[in-house]
Amino acid sequence: MNINITSAKYNQYLGENCSLTVVTEDGRIMRVPIDTDNTDYQAVQAWVAAGNTIAEAD
Amino acid sequence: MSSIKLKGSTSGDVTITVPAVAGTNTVTIPAASGNLPLSNLDHVTNRPNAQPLIINGDMQITQRSTSTTGITGTGLDVQDRFSRVMGGAGTWTQSSDTDVPTGQGFTKSMKWDCTATASVVAGSLFTIRYIFEGQDLQLLKYGTSNAEKVTLAFWIKSPVTGTHIASLYQFDDNRQVSKAYTVSSADTWQKVVLDFPADTTGVIDNDNGAGMGIELCFRAGSNYTSGTLNTSWASYTAANQFVGQVDACASTANNIYLTGVQLEVGEYDATTIPPFQHESFGDNLTRCERYYRQSYSIGTKAGTATQLGSTMVYIPAVGNTLRYTLHHYGMRATPTFAEYNPETGTAGIGAYEGSGDTNSEAISTTFGNEHSTLLYNTAMGFTGSFYWQYILSAEI
């Protein structure tokens, strides 16, 4: 779906990146899986391709 | 019209009548003994698909919301499975409505109410869109010499008369075809039946990604109208997609209604199109949940402050790890998870009982697949009940 991303950050489970916390312009906070079939993850990939960076996990 | 009369051995007779049709027609009787199910003949439809290809074509399911105001852009807000492409088309309220064509068995329609207009610019576009998974359209045999024609049918109540455009877009090979139809009377329910050619060239990938999309247009700027309407499958050219489309977005008096959307394999007209396949509410909802589901009641917007439907776990001690598995069998892909505070509706956090119910704590990570999602937090900062509302989205 159409989302306007303001930030994205990796989440980890057992030391591995497993999802992203994505914040959108309209205030949504989503846990987006690292799954190329997920359309929100596809939007994150496009956001990165546009020059943005996913922050590393804490 | 010709007839053959077969007389009974003692009395009575049976007449077989050939209708007045052009061309040579063949009816093959199977090599089997038995009685024809005459009482059911009016209801026999030779569909290659067991269920309707289009999910929620009768607009029954509105998980996310029953009405959303202030819509100006692309998204999906009310009727499940039906999204929109919108830009430069003004501001709209989308809702579920009971205005339906009489006597068709429909009880809900999709309503669009224009609340503010915007001038048409080159990139203006408003289409209602439905996207199929590629693996659900393999029966069309696209990319082969046996590719099937399809027929799109729907009930529309448009605020403007004249030419409207429906389009099919094939994602994997970036191919497209359009079909024009005429709305003859404004603000009047009209059944539209449109047959589309088979695509013997483009191949729809056999996967869970976007295979083909249907788009019903209500505004298109010159970027989409400056060419020649593309009525045969061809590589996508935007300028050829919606040529001739009238503007249904020019007045705040405009309302658009849609229901009874069906896609049939084969070529039909208004007389021969099979009847709409009505599904039970439960079956319809289950099919929609492959793409989206939520803990909220059906029609309650995410972010609503309500405990109804929320999930709750007990955290025995400060510093305990949260591990909770949400089961959501058979979603299209690993879904996006979003949590909301049941007390305040705030996004990105849950609530816990403490000194009042407005305390919050976030689920720090998720880990899942199409069947389940593990919610995880290394060390919870409190003891007591932790609860949250959620949505899961694997929309296409």
Q: What is the CATH number of the domain that holds B253?
A: 2.60.120.260
Whether residue B38 is predicted with pLDDT greater than 80 in this model: the reply is: no
Please check whether residues B256 and B373 belong to one and the same domain: no
Q: Last residue of some domain: B288, B311, B346?
A: B288
**Least CB-CB distance to B366: which of A33, A37, A40?**
A33
Dihedral in degrees, nearest 10, Cα atoms A29, A35, A40, A42: 140
Can you give the pLDDT at residue B8? 78
Query: Do residues B132 and B262 touch, judged by C-beta distance below 8 A?
Result: no
Mean pLDDT score, B260-280: 96
Domain boundary among B259, B288, B317: B288
Same domain (yes/no): B258, B353:
no
Mean pLDDT calculated for residue range B212-231? 98
Instruction: Give a yes or no: residue B59 inside a domain.
Output: no
Please state whether beta strands B2-7 and B13-18 pair in parallel, antiparallel, or not at all (unpaired).
Answer: antiparallel
Q: In this structure, is residue B57 part of a structural domain?
A: no
Kindly determine whether residue A33 and residue B75, on different chains, have CB atoms separated by under 8 Å.
no
pLDDT at B26: 75
Q: Is position B32 within any domain?
A: no
Q: Is B240 a member of any domain?
A: yes
Which of B208, B348, B366 has its CB closest to that of A29?
A: B348
- If you average pLDDT over residues B251-279, what whole number do you get? 97
Q: Do the domain assignments include residue B21?
A: no
Maximum average pLDDT range among B45-54, B179-188, B343-352: B179-188
Q: Residue A40's closest chain B neighbor by CA?
A: B336
pLDDT of B356 reads 56
Calculated CA dihedral for residues B255, B259, B262, B268, nearest 10 degrees? -70
Domain termination site, one of B227, B254, B288: B288
Sort out which chain B residues have CB atoms less than 8 A from A30's CB and list them.
336-338
Residue B43 above 60 pLDDT? no
**Is the distance from CB of B78 to CB of B110 less than 8 angstroms?**
yes
Query: Is residue B46 in a domain?
Result: no
Asked whether residue B373 is domain-assigned, the answer is yes
pLDDT at B36: 62
Q: How far is B130 from chain A (nearest CA, A)?
A: 12
- % of chain B surpassing 90 pLDDT: 81
Give the pLDDT of residue B262: 98
Select from A2, A27, A38 the Cβ nearest to the Cβ of B336: A38
Q: Is A38 within 8 Å of B364 when comparing Cβ atoms?
A: no
Q: Are residues B192 and B277 in the same domain?
A: yes
**Chain B residues within 8 A of A13 when measuring between CB atoms:** 365, 367, 374, 376
Distances from the Cα of B86 to the Cαs of B89, B96, B162, B190, in angstroms?
6, 19, 21, 24
| Same domain as B301, residue B274 | no
Query: According to the model, what pLDDT value does residue B5 have?
Result: 79
Clarify whether residues B256 and B346 are in a common domain. Answer: no
Interface test with A, best of B365, B373, B377 (most A CBs within 10 A): B365
Average confidence (pLDDT) over B266-292: 97
Q: B287 by DSSP, 3-state: which?
A: helix
Do B333 and B376 share a domain, yes or no?
Answer: yes
Identify the band that residue B30 occupies on the pLDDT scale cut at 50, 70 and 90.
Answer: low
Considering the domain architecture, whether residues B279 and B300 belong to the same structural domain is answered as no
* Same domain, yes or no: B178 and B325: no
Task: Please tell me if residue A11 touches chain B, with a CB cutoff of 8 Å.
Answer: yes
Residue A28 contacts B where some CB pair is shorter than 8 Å: yes
Strands (E), A1-58: 5-13, 16-24, 29-33
Residues B324 and B353 in one domain: yes
Q: Which of B52, B4, B3, B22 is nearest to B275 (CA)?
A: B52
Cβ–Cβ contact A56 with B under 8 A: no
Q: What is the pLDDT of residue B252?
A: 98
- The whole-number pLDDT of residue B50 equals 87
- Judged by CB atoms closer than 8 Å, whether chains meet at A30 and B363 is answered as no
How far is it, in rounded angstroms, from Cα A16 to Cα A27? 27
Structural domains of chain B, count: 2
Tell me the CB-side half-sphere exposure of residue B357, using CA atoms within 13 A. 11
Tell whether B262 and B353 lie within a shared domain: no
Please compute the mean of the pLDDT values over residues B243-268 and round it to a whole number: 98
* Whether residue B319 is found in the same domain as residue B346: yes
CA A50 remoteness from chain centre: 14
The answer, yes or no, to whether residue B348 has pLDDT greater than 80, is yes
Which helix (H) or strand (E) element contains residue B285?
Answer: helix B281-288
Q: Which residues of A touch B209 (CB under 8 A)?
A: 37
Q: Note whether residue B151 is domain-resident.
A: yes
- For the cut 70, the answer to whether the pLDDT of residue B229 exceeds it is yes
Average pLDDT over residues B346-355: 84
Q: Is the pLDDT of residue B201 over 60?
A: yes
Average pLDDT over residues A35-43: 96
Report the share of chain B in percent with pLDDT over 70.
94
Q: A45 CB near a chain B CB, below 8 Å?
A: no
Same domain assignment for residues B90 and B113: yes
Assign B10 a pLDDT band (cuts: 50, 70, 90).
confident
Domain with B339, as residue range(s), is: 294-393
Cβ contact B224:B86 at 8 Å: no
Report chain B's mean pLDDT, rounded to a whole number.
93
Interchain contact A29–B (C-beta under 8 A): yes
- The string of pLDDT tens digits covering residues B59-117 is 999 999 999 999 999 999 999 999 999 999 999 999 999 999 999 999 999 999 999 99
Average pLDDT over residues A20-27: 93
Given this model, what pLDDT does residue B186 score? Answer: 98
Is the pLDDT confidence value at B42 over 60? no
